[in-house]
Structure 1
Amino acid sequence: MQDPLRIPGVLAAVQRVWEGQPDLSLPTLFGILSNRGIGWGATDEDLVRELGVLARVHPGELPLVDARVTARYLLRTESPEHRVMVDPWRVIVRRPGVTAQPGVWSYATLRPAFVGGPLVVTSQEGIDHRLGVLSGITLLDAAPSATVPSLCGVQRRDRGDAVHLISLADDSTVLLSHGLERFVAGRRSLDREERTWESLVQCRPGVPLVVQPPGGGPPVEYAAVQEILSVEDAPWSEDH
């Protein structure tokens, strides 16, 4: 007979994963595990190992060290809805469905954050930013770099889920995903330019941003790139 004392530990591992993705039904969770090779013939050790991977990618609670993160995460909130990137250096906040420039700031601390609880970020100035109820946490990069050195030659068709924020020398900001949005903040207004793109002819700090539009038209040149930040990407995997 196998040791029955193993059962609480296995069930606790299931609970941790489920708490990180509470919108999943338990049969759906079993289906995900089946796709990862956990089915008939798998051992409890195999199950716990795969559950550990899932819990790392979608934890129920944001891992903090001294009230800060050591990796890059995407946090989704409701009431109101936000998509928040947080890494060891900064926070980037976007409002899905709202035409607005992403907010970027350095933070001092994060309050303990778990799925179903409030997300509160304290800025370096000591201001508490209440960003809604946390509905999901996704690990994007376990060992991130502060900035991206270059996006030269990137093709739109190869982007996947990647989103980058590019600051330019004329104080405008470009949000690059499957489309390109450029924000220019005036004294009393925010101008927004939107365009399609096919590739980045040139995109690295210190040189102008040059974008190739689709259809073979002439490249579009913007001001020099100052900094490239990673905002969103595919979830982390053990293959990274």
Structure 2
Amino acid sequence: MATATSGVIDAARAQSARKTFVFVSGAFCGGWIWRRVSDRLEQGGHKVFAPSLTGLAERSHLLSKDVNLDTHIADVVNLIKWESLENICLVAWSYAGFVGSGALESIGDRVSSVVWLDAYIPADGQRVADYAAEPVRKGIQAAVDKGEAGVRGSAHYPSSVVAERDRAFAESKVTPHPVGTYLQQIKVSGALQKVAKKTYIRLPRFPQPPFDKALADCKSDQSWATFEWPDVGHMAMLDAPDRVSESILQAA
């Protein structure tokens, strides 16, 4: 009888250890970029959602001037609501720091942990364009001037973004990013800071002062766990999927 009971307890523990992850992608990318990490976590029995935001990747046919930051926030909020997800680990990478921060304003009660992977932590009223590097700012202005719906990313990614072995793969998958998402001010009231378990991972090979500031701010706040991976490019989920998977699992 003891053996049977302990078996039930072990099964219950295994069940309770299963986590639900929602991955949100950065600019120019979609859910495809998380595939290696998603596969590893799903093999461990975890539930993973990696939506491509409107106008990107396999949803690039929906690119239009009407797509803005609210659209992308709604993509994440509606996924979580319609899939009835609870006790989520929300993972935001790069641009998605804006999307995740905005989504938490609506679904913060469903999120038990967050991982910000080389991602923005915006203040109320800020725009992605305010943070963008000079080449991206020029791209945004060019798209606006031409009346185009999307901003084109870099044609060639340096090693600070992705390792040589995955460069051709990444460059073949990226799509123009909806220009409206860069220009809309975010509305946040601090829902991100209210999440109980928070982790920030900085990839300093990728030079981005706003991410350095986010790391410094998180380091000075005891409610955040912080890590720096100096040997990994910005697309860490391609460069180091094992490390990303293990770190996200621990952070959840």
Q: TM-score, normalised by structure 1?
A: 0.27
By relative contact order (CA 8 Å, sep 6+), the higher-ranking structure is 2
Structure showing the higher helix proportion among its residues: 2
Structure showing the higher strand proportion among its residues: 1
Larger Rg: 1
